[in-house]
Amino acid sequence: MRARRGVQCSAFTAACRRPPKGCVMTGQNVMGVGQCAEAVKSGHLSAVTLVKDALNRIAAGNPVVNAVTRTLEERALRDAAAVDAKLAAGEDPGPLAGVPYGVKDLFDVAGLPTTAGAARLRHASPAQSDAKAIERLGAAGAILIATLNMDEFAYGFVTDNAHWGVTRNPHDRGRFAGGSSGGSAAAVAAGFVPFALGSDTNGSIRIPASLCGIFGTKPTHGLLPMEGVYPFVHTLDDIGIFARSASDLALVDAVVRGTGSAISSLGRPALLGGWFQDNLALEMTDALKALSRALGRLPTVELPDVDRARSAAFLITAYEGGRLHLAALAEDALSYDPATRDRLLAGAALPDDLYEAALSYRAVFGAAMAAVFSEHDVLIAPATYGPAPLIDAPFIPIDGTLQPARANLGLYTQPISFLGLPVVTVPLAVEGMPLGVQLIARKGEDRALLEFARQLEDRGLVTARCTLPEIAL
């Protein structure tokens, strides 16, 4: 089979004759999560074929994008063969039958050291078992094929790793993919895998999803399993999912969540103003106005003291991260990336009463947010200030001065993380570099929020951007 542009396609890209719903194609056709599983269950493709194709795609494209730290070929082919054997025996291999995926390099993978992006842990004792999320995905038939690049110990917003290098944005290799889950986002945007897992403390899924033009979830705090995930800030840490459609997010989310809860609908959307509309690039300002018009001219609401909420999130992050690493820093500080080490040391020096004050402000800011949610069901805010920053000029403008992107891309995500609210980041249907917005709901309304994202996708207001390596197989 051949792609529409005459490039010879592999099974992974050509098995479905139409592109996935909502995906703007800039290369070959690519199958989504549901399409891969359907192709395997129907016998159109084998799981082994899908896995081999994904591994080949990584081998060809990763030297440029640098999203993958390790491929798990032996394990992946063994697991894929098991899925095919179940099908041959008339058994149901699960809702994600044969779908290849990758995980941020802070999930435990049995037999491998969990590096958390740190060179100092590359020879650590191997994990004895898979993380709980990986176990659930495996039971559903999904095939883990790779671990993915990240900022060291998840402390950064750009995925510039001192040991594994910079992950580059598949849409412009001179730009960052975002972080700290940049490898996961880039792997999905580059077509290496249909979905990937990441983690989000202050925006580490939402920011790379926005910059790479794909969908991403940050759940209600504590609702997805954290067992077997290297910690950073226990008050804020969550795992989440990257995919190329809202429907694919919902499929994977249901498996990782482990529940079959009903999906309701949300209405009454509004834009967050004030802090969330300051310091935006013109492209983002125009995109938000266009989205508002398409949704019937949304009302704009403001939250008080957002700057205090962001500062509190910063303090909690620094304090908990610093205390977590204090013993290791005392033992061998030079084994850390200097950019990470200095921030952790500063956090470890913060006094307890400042940390307690930051925690206590959650009740104040939470009450303000609850008042807004009494009148609106979905709040819409930018995920980042604008398009991905250039790697050679790693700064963003804040209040008229250039600030380091690595520490400041979370300007609009940190105040939301502070309250542990569920968020789905969706890619806007815009020209040029990708732009994404956060869809924010009350705690526990994760599934309804995914449905709201799907409705926006059905209307063509949000759509993933796929840039795939052209590989002749």
Residue positions annotated with a catalytic role: 104, 180, 204
> Within 13 Å of residue 422, how many CA atoms lie on the same side as its CB?
23
Residue whose C-alpha is closest to residue 240's, from 264, 262, 260, 224: 224
- For CA atoms 465, 282, 455, 296, the dihedral sign is negative
Cβ–Cβ under 8 Å, residues 97 and 128: no
List Cβ neighbours of 239 (8 Å cut-off, separation of 6 or more): 107, 133, 197, 198, 199, 200, 219, 224, 225, 226, 229, 256
Which residues share a beta bridge with 25?
466
- Residue 382 token pair: 């930018």
Preceding peptide of 180 cis, ω within 30°: yes
CA-to-CA dists, residue 143 to 3, 89, 99, angstroms: 25, 19, 6
Which residue in the block uniquely carries the two structure tokens 């508002």?
A: 292
Cβ–Cβ under 8 Å, residues 376 and 199: no
Which residues share a beta bridge with 197?
103, 241
Cβ–Cβ under 8 Å, residues 101 and 188: no
CA–CA dist 343, 155 (Å, integer): 9
